[in-house]
Amino acid sequence: MSKRLSTIAIMHKFIALLLIALVCPMMLLLLARLVGWRIQIWMILLPSAVLVVGAIRMSILLRERLRAQAYAFETMPDGLILINDRLQADYVNPVAGKILQLSGLGSDRDAAVAELFLQHENLLELWENRMHGQSRILVGSRHLEVELIPMDIGERRTDCVVILRDVTERIQYEQELFRQATVDGLTNLYNRRYFLELLEGARKRCTSTGGRVSLALIDVDYFKLINDRYGHLAGDRVLQHFAALLREMAGDRGVVGRIGGEEFAVYWLDTDGETAYRMTEQLRRRVMEEQLGLASSACASSGDEPSYTISAGVAELDASHMTLESWLAEADACLYASKQNGRNRTTLARSAEVMAGTPHRLNR
- Percent of the chain past pLDDT 90, that is, above it, reads 43
* Cβ atoms of 133 and 120 closer than 8 Å: no
**What pLDDT is attached to residue 125?**
87
Residues 209 and 344 occupy one common structural domain: yes
Q: Which domain holds residue 259?
A: 183-348
Residues 17 and 86 occupy one common structural domain: no
Residues 193 and 151 occupy one common structural domain: no
Q: Is the pLDDT of residue 353 over 90?
A: no
Residues 62 and 84 occupy one common structural domain: no
Say how many C-beta atoms besides its own lie within 10 A of residue 73's C-beta.
Answer: 17
* Cβ atoms of 151 and 160 closer than 8 Å: yes
71-75, 257-261, 268-272: the lowest-pLDDT one: 71-75
Q: Is the pLDDT of residue 48 over 60?
A: yes
Q: Which of 119, 147, 170 lies at the terminal end of a domain, its last residue?
A: 170
**What pLDDT is attached to residue 357?**
37
What CATH number is attached to the domain comprising 340? Answer: 3.30.70.270
**What pLDDT is attached to residue 23?**
76
Q: Is 361 a domain residue? A: no
- Percent of the chain past pLDDT 70, that is, above it, reads 83
Residues 218 and 326 occupy one common structural domain: yes
**What pLDDT is attached to residue 104?**
56
Q: How many domains does the chain have?
A: 3
153-162, 183-192, 290-299: the lowest-pLDDT one: 290-299
Q: Which of 74, 108, 123 lies at the terminal end of a domain, its last residue?
A: 74
Say how far apart CA 351 and CA 290 lie, in whole Å.
28
Q: Is 364 a domain residue? A: no
**What pLDDT is attached to residue 130?**
82
Say how far apart CA 243 and CA 295 lie, in whole Å.
16
- Per-residue pLDDT band for 3 (boundaries 50, 70, 90) equals very low
Average pLDDT over residues 12-20: 74
Q: Is the pLDDT of residue 61 over 50?
A: yes
- Residue 39 or residue 173, greater confidence: 173
Q: Is 293 a domain residue? A: yes
- Per-residue pLDDT band for 321 (boundaries 50, 70, 90) equals confident
Residues 66 and 87 occupy one common structural domain: no
**What pLDDT is attached to residue 354?**
46
Residues 333 and 249 occupy one common structural domain: yes
Q: Is the pLDDT of residue 137 over 70?
A: yes
Q: Is 236 a domain residue? A: yes
- Per-residue pLDDT band for 110 (boundaries 50, 70, 90) equals confident
51-60, 200-209, 248-257, 297-306: the lowest-pLDDT one: 297-306
Residues 65 and 108 occupy one common structural domain: no
Average pLDDT over residues 25-42: 71
- Residue 132 or residue 29, greater confidence: 132
**What pLDDT is attached to residue 358?**
40
* Cβ atoms of 55 and 18 closer than 8 Å: yes
- Per-residue pLDDT band for 7 (boundaries 50, 70, 90) equals low
Q: Is 354 a domain residue? A: no
Q: Is 331 a domain residue? A: yes
What CATH number is attached to the domain comprising 135? Answer: 3.30.450.20
Residues 96 and 62 occupy one common structural domain: no
Q: Which of 118, 142, 170 lies at the terminal end of a domain, its last residue?
A: 170
- Tell me the per-residue pLDDT of 208-256, one tens digit each, with 9 for 90 and over: 998 999 999 999 999 999 999 989 998 999 999 999 999 999 998 899 9
Residues 260 and 293 occupy one common structural domain: yes
By DSSP bridging, strand 346-348 and strand 133-139 are unpaired
Residues 89 and 70 occupy one common structural domain: no
Q: Is 362 a domain residue? A: no
Residues 145 and 48 occupy one common structural domain: no
Say how many C-beta atoms besides its own lie within 10 A of residue 96's C-beta.
Answer: 22
**What pLDDT is attached to residue 295?**
53
The 3-class SS string of the chain reads: CHHHCCHHHHHHHHHHHHHHHHHHHHHHHHHHHHHCCCCCHHHHHHHHHHHHHHHHHHHHHHHHHHHHHHHHHHHCCCEEEEECCCCCEEEECHHHHHHHCCCCCCHHHHHHHHHHHHCCHHHHHHHHCCCCEEEEEEECCEEEEEEEEEEEECCEEEEEEEEEEECHHHHHHHHHHHHHHHECCCCCCECHHHHHHHHHHHHHHHHHHCCCEEEEEEEECCHHHHHHHHCHHHHHHHHHHHHHHHHHHHCCCEEEEECCCCEEEEEEECCCHHHHHHHHHHHHHHHHHCCCCCCCHHHHHCCCCCCCCEEEEEEECCCCCCCHHHHHHHHHHHHHHHHHCCCCCEEECCCCCCCCCCCCCCCC
Q: Is 118 a domain residue? A: yes
